[in-house]
Chain A
Amino acid sequence: MQTFKDALENALRLVLSLDANVVEYAQRTLLIALVSTLIASLIGIPVGMFIAERRFPGKRAVVTLLNTLLAVPTVAVGLLVYTLLSRNGPLGSWELLFTVPGIIIGEVLLIVPIVTAFTVTAVARTDRDVRKTALTLGANSRQALWIVFRESRFGVLAAVIAAFGRVVSEVGVAMIVGGNADEFTRTLTTATVQNVDMGNFALALALGLVLLAISLSVNVLFQYFQGGGHQ
């Protein structure tokens, strides 16, 4: 049996020697996170700004719903997307089950509420007075919207980073929708789970270390931008 110290030593060796598997999973994970965060931002930021800016009936219910969706378990999203993408599911003809684009669909569903809800908070925090000030200075409504966005940019960026971090660290969607197929859909988290299952703790730990490094960097960025861009 392997001691923790041995495992840690081997893990560090794997990371430092840029083990081909570790690098491949890290690249795939980052790509999935980047693409899904990009898509989710393109959806979530405008929707969040709309919700924060406009008054409409049921607004409070929508915000409550968004905040509830923040807590949806990843496996629930994974299962939902699995059922949709399964060949006998409604989107079966797309043939995206067990593919990276399939995972991205799941991750986007998972993080759109995060981007949206955090954007609503960030914009609502700045909105009223900034918008009004811009209007008194002669901005048209488009210009006013833009300055509101600019003034809440750190909060919005924090939303995007939080979403990115969520994708990197989650395992439910990646495992259920991706299926952990080697060379196709294996990510840092699914590979970690699999290697724990196989008792390959050194590799699992190496993957865990990479995950930790990514999460840590993401968190530092998040804190930085949450604090308004200055420490």
Chain B
Amino acid sequence: MYRLALFTTALLFGASAAAQEVLTLATTTSTDNSGLLAAIHPDFERSTGIRVKVIAKGTGASLQLGRDGNADVVLVHARAKEDEFIEAGFGTMRRDVMANDFVVVGPSADPAGARFATSASGALERIVAADHLFLSRGDGSGTHLKEQQIWRHAAVPTKTDTRSFVAGGRPTQFTSTRPAKGRYISIGQGMGKTIIMATERQAYTLVDRGTYYAFLLADPPRTDLAVVCEGDRMLANPYGVIAVNPKTHPNVNFAAAKKYIEWITSARVQGMIGRFRIDGKTLFHPAHESSH
């Protein structure tokens, strides 16, 4: 009977002991879907006794969770948005954590010839020119922001969609840039779903290398798309960790957030991130590798 009660409590509150401290981390689907967090979080729990509750959304949604005080710490990849977030007083203690890079993937036969482009924007130009299908996450995530940045550099006419809505009691605008011509579908889904759809439709898309590898190297593989463009400096994808500002949201678990930031930027954990591999492939490059 006692064991049953304990078990019920554990299920109800999601902790092995009911009173265990919990840190809510809002992060991107790319970090969660790659399996990195599942690999390193047990170490945090062991060394601090704090359990991490991971809410995986796009960068935009994750920052919104921080803005609303529904998360204690955020781990995202969109530098401009991160700075905005901190300047508006929602975040504090930003640190670089790691970087990976984006790749443009597409059908292995590469019907658009994107492989022969010398830059990311060049690759997208070829896809538009070939009138081949391109899938966009379209969810305001870091990947989506990066994709729009590339479109703006590409020599193709773009147009801007603007949607207005109210967030946190303020009217907010969500604008997105997309090519004015060509076959382009904005699906409003996470990274994983986007790869799956691109694979099903044999479309091109922009994906972070970590998630792409996780799908390509899974057994059995979950995608047969090939990398058609990589290495452009514009494709760099730095991740930052930010504590939600306790001055704005006094309820957040700032002490735990601080511990988490110190832990994830520590030399030991940075080493773990660098050693995290899928089938021998490194997915993330720790930010503090050389400095420590």
Which A residues from 206 to 231 make CB contacts under 8 A with B?
Answer: none
Which A residues from 98 to 132 make CB contacts under 8 A with B?
Answer: 98-101
Q: In the complex, how many residue pairs between chain A and chain B have their CB atoms under 8 Å apart?
A: 88
Q: How far is the CB of B194 from chain A (nearest CB, A)?
A: 9
Contact of B70 among A6, A87, A198 (CB under 8 A): A87
Residues of B within 8 A of A28 (CB): 11
Q: If the complex has contacts A87-B70, A98-B24, A197-B189, are A31 and B11 also in contact, measured as CB distance less than 8 A?
A: yes
Residues of B within 8 A of A95 (CB): 251
Question: How far does the alpha carbon of A95 sit from the alpha carbon of B23 in the complex, in Å?
Answer: 12
At the interface, yes or no: B51 with Cβ under 8 Å from chain A? yes
Question: How far does the alpha carbon of A28 sit from the alpha carbon of B250 in the complex, in Å?
Answer: 31
State whether B13 touches A100 (Cβ < 8 A): yes
State whether A87 touches B68 (Cβ < 8 A): yes
* Chain B binder among A52-60, A64-72, A135-143, A178-186: A178-186
State whether A182 touches B38 (Cβ < 8 A): yes
* Chain A binder among B74-82, B221-229, B259-267, B281-289: B221-229
At the interface, yes or no: A17 with Cβ under 8 Å from chain B? no
At the interface, yes or no: B141 with Cβ under 8 Å from chain A? no
Closest residue to A183 on the B side, CB-wise?
Answer: B14
Contact of A198 among B68, B222, B224, B252 (CB under 8 A): B222
At the interface, yes or no: A93 with Cβ under 8 Å from chain B? yes
Which B residues from 210 to 242 make CB contacts under 8 A with A?
Answer: 214-215, 218, 220-224
Question: How far does the alpha carbon of A199 sit from the alpha carbon of B218 in the complex, in Å?
Answer: 9
State whether B11 touches A198 (Cβ < 8 A): no
Contact with B along A123-167 (1 / 0, CB 8 A): 000000000000000000000000000000000000000000000
Give the dominant DSSP class at A's interface: loop
State whether A92 touches B222 (Cβ < 8 A): no
Residues of B within 8 A of A93 (CB): 251
- Number of A residues near B (Cβ < 8 Å) is 30
- Number of B residues near A (Cβ < 8 Å) is 37
Q: If the complex has contacts A31-B11, A98-B70, A101-B12, are A1 and B220 also in contact, measured as CB distance less than 8 A?
A: yes
State whether B55 touches A181 (Cβ < 8 A): yes
Residues of B within 8 A of A183 (CB): 14, 51, 53
Which A residues from 1 to 52 make CB contacts under 8 A with B?
Answer: 1-2, 6, 27-28, 31, 35
Q: How far is the CB of A204 from chain B (nearest CB, A)?
A: 11
Residues of A within 8 A of B218 (CB): 199-200
State whether A87 touches B251 (Cβ < 8 A): yes
Besides A6-B220, A86-B68, A88-B68, 13 more A-B contacts (Cβ < 8 Å) are A1-B199, A1-B220, A86-B70, A87-B70, A88-B168, A100-B14, A181-B14, A181-B53, A183-B14, A197-B29, A198-B214, A199-B223, A200-B222
Using CB atoms and an 8 Å cutoff, list the residues of chain B in contact with chain A.
8, 11-14, 22, 24, 29, 33, 38, 51, 53-56, 68-70, 168, 189-190, 192-193, 195-196, 199, 214-215, 218, 220-224, 249, 251-252
The 10 closest A-B pairs by CB, nearest first: A199-B222, A184-B14, A87-B69, A198-B192, A197-B192, A197-B193, A179-B55, A181-B53, A2-B220, A31-B11
